[in-house]
Amino acid sequence: MTPVGGIAVALISLWVVGVLVIVTTRRALLRATWREPYVDDPVVILESDDWGPGPPEHAESLRRLLHVLAGHRDGVGRPAVLTANMVLSVPDGPAIVAGGYRGYARRELDVAFPELFAAMREGRAAGTFFPQLHGREHLNPEALVRRARNGDVALRALLEIPNWSDWEGLDSPLQGHFVDGSELPTRPVAADQQRVMAAEGVRVFARAFGESPASAVAPCYLWNDDTEAAWAAAGVRYIQTAGYRCIGRDADGRYIQSPQWLHAGSVNRHGQRYLVRNVMYEPADGRGWEAAWCEVRRRLREAQPAVISTHRYNYTRAESQAQALRGLDELLNRIGRRYARVRFAASPEWGRWLESGELADALSHGTWPAPRPASRPRRIAGFLRRLWHRHQKLRWLVVATGLIVPGVLLVLLLDGLAALATRPAVVAVARTGELHG
């Protein structure tokens, strides 16, 4: 054998060993990642938590945000849509104080905040605002009252403010809904109480918006198995996540993750599907449109939807709202220019696609043309990219064994095959909001 032949045999042997090591040691990871959804069309979903009661100026902040969304259309003429995860009530501080901190009182979105609620209805009618469930409160009522009753001076001062609604100003552990954060470590709320809380949240949501929510996301990403059972009993089918679940906070305030990883599209024992956010656009926290644009391109190359997390406070705080709106406009502009076939969707619509392959418009109850599942070459290329981007130890092994070389060549080949297999883009509809089917 020639020296070149010997080197080739050694390399191939090393690569085979590397593949065998990866398959043997990471079998569960490989299987779970392969079972995730893979989509051919570029799908973009905007998930925004913490919409709910607020001062009157929040109504105009919301209208400005929805105006930006209305200026961007996807490949079938649909405007960009905000999946707005709703907080339905806030503490009635003066009433709690007047009661001597012996019980809880609340002010509800659809009753006590008419101007803001009107702006939400306008956005819903325009197809740019799609409400879903965050929680009846963004706090645990019993924990709040207990903390105030035990003499928390700062909390009592907040509750004494007339028309106070800024739960984001609360001590962080108090902002969990399904945990008692009156002290650390937090304590989970009993299962029967969680069932009542979830049912009440769905009931108030349905009263406000005329139908029950299909998806929910827990305040502060704090929830457990009992929460999922409670949501399931209340009719919630999809759970929005950041790719993990936190069941509480420890004595130092650190979040306790369990499980460490939730795979997109996976199903729990109640038949609920997990939806995973994978892009951050939080300019108030220094995560601007440039970083989000890089993440969007990466996610779409991985044949998964770009699910963008962007919280309310980016658009309602005076110091960040102008920058946030400009950045979102630029981000959506770049998406539209780069991806002519981009599809905008709300979270429960994506969940429906995972179940049935249908993209039902939950606002009008019509049906948009469904995004196409990824072809086999695009699926394999997306699978390899997901593994590379997510798992540092796997990257080290691929580089150390030289598998990076055939891996890159394989992905480039698959990209070419996927491009050849791509059918012509869908034709945009002639009128805004025209539905198919």
Determine what percent of the chain is predicted with pLDDT higher than 90.
Answer: 78
Mean pLDDT to the nearest integer, 350-370: 77
Main-chain dihedrals φ then ψ at residue 225, nearest 5 degrees: -60, -35
**3-class secondary structure, 286:** coil
Q: What is the pLDDT of residues 199-210, one digit of tens each?
A: 999 999 999 999
Class for the domain spanning 43-368:
alpha beta
What does 329-344 look like in DSSP terms, one character per residue?
HHHHHHHHHH-TT-EE
Does pLDDT of 382 surpass 60?
Answer: yes
Q: Which pLDDT does position 430 carry in this prediction? A: 32
Compute, in degrees rounded to 10, the torsion defined by CA atoms 376, 379, 380, 384. Answer: 180
Residue of higher predicted confidence among 89 and 415: 89
Confidence check: pLDDT of 93 > 50: yes
Average pLDDT over residues 230-251: 97
Residues 6+ apart with CB under 8 A from 359: 343, 345, 349, 352, 353, 367, 368, 369, 370, 371
Residue 74 clears pLDDT 50, i.e. is over it: yes
Instruction: Please state, in angstroms and rounded to a whole number, the distance separating the CA atoms of residues 107 and 91.
Output: 6
Q: What is the distance between the alpha carbons of residues 120 and 118, in angstroms, rounded to a whole number?
A: 5
For 242-291, what is each residue's pLDDT tens digit? 999 999 999 999 999 999 899 999 999 999 999 999 999 999 999 999 99
Beta strands at 367-368 and 359-360: parallel, antiparallel or unpaired: antiparallel
Task: Read off the pLDDT band of 364 (50, 70, 90).
Answer: low
If one counts every other C-beta atom within 10 angstroms of the C-beta of residue 88, the result is 26
- Spatial distance between the Cα atoms of 113 and 342, rounded to a whole number of angstroms: 35
What is the chain's mean pLDDT, rounded? 90
User: How far is it, in rounded angstroms, from Cα 87 to Cα 136?
Assistant: 6
- Check: CB of residue 185 under 8 Å from CB of residue 251: yes
SS3 214: coil
Yes or no: say if 284 and 328 are a contact pair by the CB < 8 Å rule: no
Contact between 129 and 70 under an 8 Å Cβ cutoff? The reply is no
From 218-227, 363-372, 380-389, 424-433, the region with the lowest mean pLDDT: 424-433
Complete DSSP assignment for 66-103 = HHHHHT-B-TTSPBP-EEEEEE-EEE-HHHHHHTTTSS
| Ranges 103-107, 138-142, 255-259, 386-390: which has the least confidence | 386-390
- pLDDT recorded at residue 8: 59
| Residue 324, number of CB atoms within 10 A of its CB | 26
Q: How far is CA 123 from CA 186, 336, 373, 390, in A?
A: 37, 21, 30, 36
DSSP, res 182:
S
* Dist CA 393 CA 390 (whole Å): 9
In the numeric block, which tokens belong to residue 40?
A: 């051919």
C-alpha span between 60 and 195 (Å, rounded): 35
Q: Which residues contact 22 (CB under 8 A, 6 or more apart)?
A: 30, 394, 397, 398
State how far the Cα of 11 lies from the Cα of 1, in Å rounded to an integer. Answer: 15
Q: What is the CA radius of gyration of the chain?
A: 24
Burial class (CB in 10 A: 0-12, 13-18, 19+), 4: exposed
Enter the pTM of the model: 0.91
**What pLDDT does 27 receive?**
79
Name the token pair of 390: 């997510």
What's the confidence (pLDDT) of residue 103? 95
C-beta separation of 46 from 343 below 8 A = no
Please give the structure tokens belonging to residue 411: 């992905």
Beta-ladder partners of 81: none
Phi, psi of 381, deg, nearest 5: -65, -40
Could you tell me which residues come within 8 angstroms of residue 390 by beta carbon, excluding any fewer than 6 positions away? none
Is there a contact between 380 and 303 (Cβ–Cβ < 8 Å)?
no
CA separation for the pair 42, 40 (Å, rounded): 7
Structure confidence at residue 212 (pLDDT): 96
How does strand 89-91 pair with strand 106-108?
A: antiparallel
The helix or strand, by DSSP H or E, that contains position 278, with its residue range, turns out to be none
Structure confidence at residue 431 (pLDDT): 33
Bridge partners (DSSP) listed for residue 222: 246
pLDDT at 6: 62
Q: What is the pLDDT of residue 352?
A: 92
Mean pLDDT along residues 28-34: 90
180 in Cβ contact with 142 (< 8 Å): yes
Domain boundary assignment for the chain: 43-368
